[in-house]
Amino acid sequence: MTNFLLFTAGLAALVFGANLLVRGAGKLALSFGISPLVVGLTVVAFGTSAPEVAVSVSAALAGQADGETSAAVRTRVEAAQALQRFAENWQLPVANAFRFQDTFDNHHPLYAGDVGLGINPKLAARIREADLLLVLGARLGEATTGSYTLIDAPLPKQKLVHVHASAEELGRVYHPTLAICATMNAAARSLEVLTAPPQVAWEPWAAAAQADYRANIDPANGGVVLPGLVDMPEVMDVVRRLLPADAVLTNGAGNFASWLHRFHPYHGLAKGHKTQLAPTNGAMGYGVPAGIGAAIVQPGRTVFTIAGDGDFMMNGQELATAVQFGAKTIILLVNNGTYGPIR
Tell me the per-residue pLDDT of 240-299, one tens digit each, with 9 for 90 and over: 999 999 999 999 999 999 999 999 999 999 999 999 999 998 889 999 999 999 999 999
Please name every residue paired with 132 in a beta bridge, in sequence order, or none if there are none. 159
Average pLDDT, the chain: 87
The CB-side HSE value for 92 (13 A sphere, CA atoms) comes to: 22
Q: Residues 63-79: pLDDT tens digits?
A: 444 455 577 788 999 99
Of the candidates 45, 105, 41, 5, the residue with the CA atom closest to the CA atom of residue 289: 45
pLDDT the model gives residue 142: 94
Q: What is the pLDDT of residue 30?
A: 62
CA distance 75 to 174: 29
Burial class (CB in 10 A: 0-12, 13-18, 19+), 74: exposed
Cβ pair 39, 28 in contact under 8 A: yes
Beta bridge partners of 95: 113
**CA separation for the pair 56, 50 (Å, rounded):** 10
d(C-alpha 242, C-alpha 234), whole Å: 12
CB atoms within 10 A of CB 86: 22
Q: Which residues contact 150 (CB under 8 A, 6 or more apart)?
A: 115, 119, 124, 127, 128
Of residues 335, 276, 337, the one with CA closest to residue 308: 335
**pLDDT for the residue numbered 226:** 87
Sheet containing strand 248-251, strands side by side? 276-277, 248-251, 303-308, 330-334
Q: Measured between alpha carbons, how far is 47 from 39 in angstroms, rounded to an integer?
A: 12
